[in-house]
Amino acid sequence: MTLIGVIDYDMGNLHSACKGLEKAGATAQVTDRAQDLEKADAVVLPGVGAFDPAMEHLRSRDLIPVIKDIIASGKPFLGICLGLQILFDASEEGQSPGLGIIPGRVRRFRPEPGITIPHMGWNQLMLTHSHLPLWQHLPLNPWVYFVHSYYVDPVDPTVTAATITHGTQTITAAIAQDNLMAVQFHPEKSSTAGLQILANFVQHIQACVPV
């Protein structure tokens, strides 16, 4: 069975993400041990909370070089919510440098009439990489669930795999670069579309792992 290492760094409840992966047919192992993550067929970096504490928790567990090595190795890797944001260079939310894997910054939504910050609730994805494994078997412009006040702003727009519009602002909602995929929304809270995305990730892992 497909083994997915879910990185435990004290940032959010990991239960719902693991449950979604297990529904998709994988075994999810919550761990902060480098050996476990290296043995897994794929790795998920979830997260809820603030940028600086997230980086501090990763640093205190010596997980930063582990994450970078796993992504560089070509192993399938999925970031979720805060797990997307910390892949970037820095954030307007704090002072700590991010992982620096994707060039760019994390920015706060601009206040404007008629929008709420945080952006909380359902929004419709505009898929920009229709061939991405995560997007297979989805309806056109699926609805998914968000909770965030900050969004990623990549230097290279070609890494953007989906966008959303909040007020007048169109922002990156997902990125993809080689084996690395990450989403701002919560697939585990996004009903049928979210479960399909997690199932797609599991199927992608199975296609990548040698028989």
All domains of the chain in start order, with CATH: 3-208 (3.40.50.880)
**Residue 208 is a catalytic residue:** no
**How do beta strands 88-91 and 102-108 pair?**
parallel
Give per-residue pLDDT as tens, 73-92: 999 999 999 999 999 999 99
Indicate whether 130 pLDDT > 90: no
Instruction: Give catalytic status of residue 92 as yes or no.
Output: no
Please report which confidence band the pLDDT of residue 211 belongs to, taking 50, 70 and 90 as the band edges.
low
Q: pLDDT value at position 67?
A: 98
Gap between the Cα atoms of 129 and 31, Å rounded = 31
pLDDT for residue 37: 97
Name the active-site residue from 81, 119, 166, 204: 81
pLDDT over 70 at 210, yes or no: no
**Mean pLDDT taken over the chain:** 94
**pLDDT > 90? residue 60:** yes
pLDDT at 131: 82
pLDDT band, residue 13 (cuts 50/70/90):
confident
Q: Report the percentage of the chain scoring pLDDT > 70.
A: 99
Pick from 7-11, 29-33, 141-145, 206-210: least confident:
206-210
How far is the CA of 142 from the CAs of 5, 22, 124, 127, 147, in angstroms?
A: 27, 22, 6, 9, 17
Per the annotation, the verdict on 188 as an active-site residue is: yes
For residues 46 and 14, give the distance between their C-alpha atoms in angstroms, rounded to a whole number: 7
Would you say residue 137 has pLDDT above 70? yes
Q: How many residues does the chain have?
A: 211
DSSP state of 110: P
CA dihedral of 197, 64, 74, 102, whole degrees rounded to 10:
70
Residue from 18, 57, 188, 204 carrying the catalytic annotation: 188
Q: What is the 3-state secondary structure (H, E, C) of the chain?
A: CCEEEEECCCCCCCHHHHHHHHHCCCEEEEECCHHHHHHCCEEEECCCCCHHHHHHHHHHCCCHHHHHHHHHHCCCEEEECHHHHCCEEEECCCCCCCCCCEEEEEEECCCCCCCCCCEEEEEECEECCCCCHHHCCCCCCCEEEEEECEEEEECCHHHEEEEEEECCEEEEEEEEECCEEEECCCHHHCHHHHHHHHHHHHHHHHHHCCC
* pLDDT per residue as tens digits for the range 178-192: 999 999 999 999 999
* pLDDT score at 16: 83
